[in-house]
Amino acid sequence: MKGPAVFLAQFASDEAPFNSLDAITRYMGGLGYKGVQIPTWDSRLFDLERCAQSQDYADEIKGVCAANGVEVTELSTHLQGQLVASHPAYDRLFDGFAPAALHGNIPARTEWAVEQVKLAALASRRLGCTAHATFSGALLWHTVYPWPQRPAGLVEEGFAELARRWTPILNVFEDNGIDAAFELHPGEDLHDGVTFERFLEAVGNHPRANILYDPSHFLLQQLDYLAFIDIYHERIKAFHVKDAEFRPNGRAGVYGSYAGWGDRPGRFRSLGDGQIDFTGIFTGLTHHGYDGWAVLEWECAYKHPEQGAAEGAPFIARHMIRKADKAFDDFAGTGTDMALVREVLGLDSAG
């Protein structure tokens, strides 16, 4: 595993040192981060179309990062991926994810989003990345609770349509040797293991359909995030290190009561302030051979982002595991002696 790294989306702003790639990577490198995940929609930091088309620009991006002690871990198209599939109930709310000229024009907005994610595959290859972070979008989320009763075939057709939209995109990722890592997240049709399996089946087990593992979303759903690693480790290609807590009470539970983040029973926290078992997570990922990046995604209802960033790098570094290359009890080993082996088994003995 590589790290610590940090997702820049929640830190970028118009204020220095968060308003340019050079300044923000120098800041994060100074905190001890070794990698940065770049939000491709933020023009203050990155030009996606230019990077997809120009190796010189990609090399410039890598050079800026390297000069500040970091490298690009992955690109992110979370906002554009959301728009690949969007139910009309959310169209006004999601318009802000696209350029103003596309607001209210859903076919054009969808076409733009699809092209953006495809461009990210090309840009990722130019940058030397192997995985890409994104969302699946959602056609079914408004039916997540089974009331009113869903008409027969609704779920199947929803995933079939999602597959129709994503398969051509995944093929571009295949052509460029990049894994599309979907962050399994409430609000997306891909939000847990079962929904990921539905999608995987619908896209014919496409080799580039993979997972961005973020345990915070699983804790808030009350899903076993450690068992998830054992089940899906072969598809985990990216990792957001994000903490959360779930504290139900006599008035509210998993649905959150339309409350703001600070008042919900389930809420995101800075690393170390929540309930996530990161020792178990890093152990599980190491056990299964995860060799991608450990990337802080800072989201907290209480703590200032600069404090969260400063605390995040050493927290991740403490949890990184250098995988053992020998068993701890090798000092007591007796070597290979088949005669002894058979004797211990009670074989080849007299009688």
Q: What is the pLDDT of residues 255-303, one digit of tens each?
A: 999 999 999 999 999 999 999 999 999 999 999 999 999 999 999 999 9
What gap in Å lies between CA 16 and CA 42, rounded to an integer? 15
Domains located in the chain, CATH noted: 2-344 (3.20.20.150)
pLDDT of residue 351: 54
DSSP for 175-234, please give it.
HHT-EEEEE--TTSS--SHHHHHHHHHHTTS-TTEEEEE-HHHHHHHT--HHHHHHHHGG
For every residue of 285-342, DSSP letters joined together read: HHHTT--SEEEE----SSS-HHHHHHHHHHHHHHH-----SS-TTGGG-----HHHHH
What is the predicted pLDDT for the residue at 350? 58
d(CA 235, CA 210): 5
Q: How many CA atoms lie within 13 A of 60 on its CB side?
A: 12
pLDDT of residue 26: 98
The answer to whether residues 7 and 296 touch, using CB atoms and an 8 Å cutoff, is: yes
Element containing residue 75 per DSSP (H, E)? strand 71-77
Q: How far is CA 203 from CA 150, 155, 179, 198, 303, in A?
A: 23, 15, 14, 9, 40
Residue 319: how many CB atoms within 10 A of its CB? 19
pTM of whole model > 0.85?
A: yes
Residues of the chain with pLDDT under 50: none
Q: What pLDDT shows up at residue 44?
A: 98
Asked if 239 contacts 295 with a C-beta cutoff of 8 angstroms, the reply is yes
Look at residue 327 in the predicted model and tell me its pLDDT: 79
The pLDDT, as a whole number, for residue 20 is 98
Helix (H, G, I), strand (E, B) or coil at 36: strand
The pLDDT value recorded for residue 331 is 79
Residue 210 phi, psi dihedral angles, 5° rounding: -135, -170
Burial (CB < 10 A; 0-12, 13-18, 19+), residue 107, is: exposed
Helices (H), 15-153: 21-30, 48-53, 55-67, 78-82, 91-94, 106-127
Q: Residues for the chain: how many in total? A: 351
What pLDDT shows up at residue 349?
64
pLDDT for the residue 34: 98
Q: What is the pLDDT of residue 323?
A: 84
